[in-house]
């Protein structure tokens, strides 16, 4: 890959799957010109979540986050594109759905605030996880996928996006 062509990790959380909006979210990522390189549906076990959220394991909210992430299946994906990490984060919107701008995935499909979630004693239902930086993306991809699960193929519109 060139210096600007990157891979990033995206997970559609159980609330996105349960609400039946996964296709709309995937469509938004695809129409941006990025290429879907890997996808699978799974129920995340304790070990996987402990590794994925390692910086949060000792925090008070981790138990609720783990329970939320195990309420149903997750759709894990690898996306490739020019500045993929940054561009996916722009499409996803702010972590707190209440603060996400209209036109972003969270801005259009979610509205819960951290204050509301805390008052209810549950995790913020924010639909999607996207890697925050390139090193994090590489670590998360390696955690959720074997390299042999990542496909390499050409899209017909590649001329326009690379």
pLDDT 10s digits, 50-101: 999 999 999 988 999 999 999 999 999 999 999 999 999 999 999 999 899 9
In percent, the amount of the chain with pLDDT more than 90 equals 77
pLDDT band at 119 (very low <50, low <70, confident <90, very high): confident
Candidate list 27, 52, 111, 129, residue with the active-site label: 129
Task: Judge whether 52 counts as a catalytic residue.
Answer: no
Whether residue 162 is predicted with pLDDT greater than 70 in this model: the reply is no
Q: Which residues of 2-39 are buried (b: 16+ CB within 10 A; e: fewer)?
A: eeeebbbbbbbbbbbbeeebbeebbebbeeeebbbbbb
């Amino acid at each position: 890959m060139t210096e600007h062509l990157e891979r990033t990790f995206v997970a559609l959380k159980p609330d996105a799957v349960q609400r039946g909006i996964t296709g709309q979210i995937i469509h938004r990522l695809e129409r941006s010109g990025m290429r879907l390189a890997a996808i699978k549906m799974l129920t995340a076990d304790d070990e996987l979540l402990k590794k994925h959220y390692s910086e949060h394991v000792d925090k008070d909210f981790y138990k609720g986050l783990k329970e939320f992430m195990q309420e149903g299946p997750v759709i894990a994906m690898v996306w490739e594109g020019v500045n993929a990490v940054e561009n996916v984060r722009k499409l996803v919107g702010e972590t707190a759905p209440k603060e996400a701008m209209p036109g972003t995935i969270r801005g259009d499909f979610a509205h819960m605030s951290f204050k509301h979630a805390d008052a209810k004693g549950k995790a913020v239902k924010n639909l999607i996880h996207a890697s925050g930086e390139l090193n994090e993306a590489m670590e998360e991809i390696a955690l959720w996928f074997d390299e042999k699960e990542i496909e390499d193929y050409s899209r017909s519109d590649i001329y326009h996006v690379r």
